[in-house]
Amino acid sequence: MEVAVIADELTAVGFRLAGARILLATPENIESCFSVAQQEAELVLLTAELAALLPAAELQAALHAFPPLTLVIADLRRRQEPPDLALEARRALGVLP
């Protein structure tokens, strides 16, 4: 399985050791990195900080599409957290505590 990780250099280290393809994105190249990952990988992991730089519609389309499976993750420094999917699901179902 081809795994692509779009992240900062520190976050990418562990994924690189696990054999993932690493795309070090910047605000200037995030859209092209994301496009390459979507075309070439079966699983795309994208840090929340970099996900925030993508157009919202493009990110939402990718998160709902399959393949590839696209997930937003926290970076190693936890500068920006990904959405809390469990909380969003409870809100959608109307079962908040």
Is pLDDT above 80 for 82? no
In terms of residue numbers, what domain contains 18? 3-93
Residue 35: give its domain's CATH number.
3.40.50.10580
Q: In total, how many domains does the chain have?
A: 1
pTM of the model: 0.79
Q: Could you tell me the CA-to-CA distances from 25 to 38, 70, 84 in Å, in that order?
A: 14, 16, 23
Adjacent-strand bridge partners of 14: none
Helix (H, G, I), strand (E, B) or coil at 82: coil
Average pLDDT estimate for 4-32: 93
* Each residue's pLDDT tens digit, 41-73: 999 999 999 999 999 999 999 999 989 999 999
The predicted pLDDT at position 75 comes to 81
* Each residue's pLDDT tens digit, 31-40: 999 999 999 9
Cis ω for the linkage preceding 68 (within 30 of 0) = yes
- Residue by residue, what is the 3-state secondary structure of 20-54? CEEEECCCCCHHHHHHHHHHHCCEEEEEHHHHCCC
- Nearest by Cα to 20 from 49, 52, 47: 47
